[in-house]
Structure 1
Amino acid sequence: MSALLMPLLMSLPDPAVKCRTRARCVIGFCFRLLIRALVGSGSMRLVTRESGRLALARGTLVVANHPTYCDVVVLISLMPQANCVVKAALWRNPFCWGIVRAAGYISNASPEGVIEACAEALRQGETLLLFPEGTRTTPGQVPRFQRGAAHVALRSGATILPVLIGCDPPTLTKHSPWWLAPEHPFTFCVDVGEQLATVKEEAAMAATPAIRARHLTNALQDHFSRELRRHGYA
């Protein structure tokens, strides 16, 4: 895909937005095929609740906890036109550079630049997927959110859509070898919540941007910790 298909898509005489849309459709299709292979082989059981909210999201910041490697694959398969932040190293990776460039994903090379790029994508009406933890959660630990997602939400004015992810038994987690499969098929749950506009509005009443971001981060972390326990995901 990176060596042949994506450069071909980028070379077509179409507007950049059209090329980006086409590239994201291809990525979403491939991710759906991967999920079907996992489910069809009996390796994985996928359970989704209110996933239609993802398809309807426009100009929305989708935030999710991050327990496994599968998280971004499953979520992008459910909302293929979403934008997301990828590691700067992937822009130099020979297997990935063509994919992330063609899709117009956002590099995290610059901390300040990535926040403004994310906010601008939301202002343009894109749906943006972020994992506030910044990395996968260590099994058994409470999620610890960084403030980047809060800064993006406050700067863009976008509504926040929370997504709870659970995986039982824990599979493809932090510090776990990718080839170490569980004895039994793992159940991957995606639970899409309701928009959290009121949480953001309460945080926006604080004095300075830094304090507002801290309040919103704490509110998001409290919400996820509470809901993950309620659903039995933590």
Structure 2
Amino acid sequence: MSQAPGLGIPGILHTLREYLVFYSGLGLLAGVSLLWSVLALPLRLVLPRRWRKQTGRWVITMGFRMYLRALSIMGACHFDLKALDTLRGESPMIIAPNHPSLLDALMVISRSPNLACIMKSELVDNVFFGAGARLAGYIRNDSLRSMICLAVEDLRRGSHLLLFPEGTRSNRLPIGTVRGSIALIAKEARVPIQTVFIETESAFLTKGWPFFRKPSMPIHYRIRLGQRFDPPTDVRGFTVELERYFQSALAEARLPPLSSMGARAP
């Protein structure tokens, strides 16, 4: 991580530049998301059903890819996401990353155009993301039964599925409690689970981090692939195994300290 300049005019100018980059990045994400929501509303009505998901997912992938590229050009972040490119075009699977920050989903989606995503219901209803998420056929998480059925159906139709095993951002290191829904979906859909490791040294947008609090920049993100597990037969046993695997594999990884507001004692 680069060190901020000391006090004086250069330090003040550096800080001002970081604030400009930070708020420009937030504004760009909000503007692009809102524009796509406005366009997605009529497209959902006029596009044939078979084209809706494909169109919605492709546009979101390209939009996030350009957004992350813009952050790189501005010097806000550096991304190493090339490991995800090896998954493109492969047969249906669950992509299961650890979840340190709010940027995790954007990074995975930016490299995966044939991807279903399970989202919090408040995001699906959000004015900035909701219309685009519905056009892309992203799955709400407010009903467990419905979520599992829709996820299995999407996988059987050939999609990949992004599902964070913790269900939310990590509230302890190296990973929080893994939920059984990931094993149940993999079992019912008979698809493998591809583990993914997201590494960063910054606590930016970890659980408890205030959304408008500027981090030190640039932030470095790296994604690498872990083990691919066959479809489980024992949901409870596999859930325990998967959590132990993440704990072991992430023991030496670059992970940010958790905000005191989001941390939980082990």
Q: Above 0.5 in TM-score?
A: yes
For the pair 1:8 / 2:42, whether they are aligned, the reply is yes
Report if the CA contact (8 A) 1:49-1:192 is conserved. Answer: no
Task: Say if 1:48 and 1:152 are closer, same or farther in 2 by CA, change over 3 A.
Answer: same
Counterpart in the other structure of 2:242: 220
Task: Say if 1:3 and 1:189 are closer, same or farther in 2 by CA, change over 3 A.
Answer: closer
For the pair 1:70 / 2:92, whether they are aligned, the reply is no
TM-score by length of 2: 0.77
The structure with the largest alpha-carbon Rg is: 2
Once the two structures are TM-superposed, the CA of residue 125 in structure 1 deviates from its matched residue by 1.2
Report if the CA contact (8 A) 1:139-1:173 is conserved. Answer: no
Kindly provide the amino acid, as one letter, of the partner of residue 61 in structure 2: G
Report if the CA contact (8 A) 1:69-1:173 is conserved. Answer: yes
Once the two structures are TM-superposed, the CA of residue 33 in structure 1 deviates from its matched residue by 1.5
Distance 2:79 2:99 in 1: 16
Q: Percent identity?
A: 28
Kindly provide the amino acid, as one letter, of the partner of residue 71 in structure 1: D
Distance 2:162 2:175 in 1: 21
Distance 1:127 1:3 in 2: 23
Once the two structures are TM-superposed, the CA of residue 213 in structure 1 deviates from its matched residue by 1.4
Write the deviation string for residues 66-113 of structure 1: whole angstroms up to 9, x where unpaired.
Answer: 000100000000102200111222333233321111111111121111
Structure 2 residue corresponding to 1:118, chosen from 143, 148, 151: 151
How is 1:90-109 mapped onto 2 (pairs within 5 angstroms)?
90-109=123-142
Moved more, 188-197 or 158-167: 188-197
How is 1:41-60 mapped onto 2 (pairs within 5 angstroms)?
41-48=74-81, 50-60=83-93
How is 1:1-234 mapped onto 2 (pairs within 5 angstroms)?
1-12=35-46, 14-48=47-81, 50-138=83-171, 140=173, 142-197=175-230, 200-201=231-232, 204=233, 212-233=234-255
Kindly provide the amino acid, as one letter, of the partner of residue 7 in structure 1: L
Report if the CA contact (8 A) 1:25-1:80 is conserved. Answer: yes
Structure 2 unpaired stretches of 5+: 1-34, 257-266
RMSD: 1.9
Task: Say if 1:96 and 1:50 are closer, same or farther in 2 by CA, change over 3 A.
Answer: closer
Write the deviation string for residues 113-160 of structure 1: whole angstroms up to 9, x where unpaired.
Answer: 111111111111110000011110136453211111111111111011
Once the two structures are TM-superposed, the CA of residue 194 in structure 1 deviates from its matched residue by 4.0
Distance 1:185 1:10 in 2: 38
Report if the CA contact (8 A) 2:200-2:254 is conserved. Answer: no
Kindly provide the amino acid, as one letter, of the partner of residue 115 in structure 1: I
Distance 1:95 1:50 in 2: 29
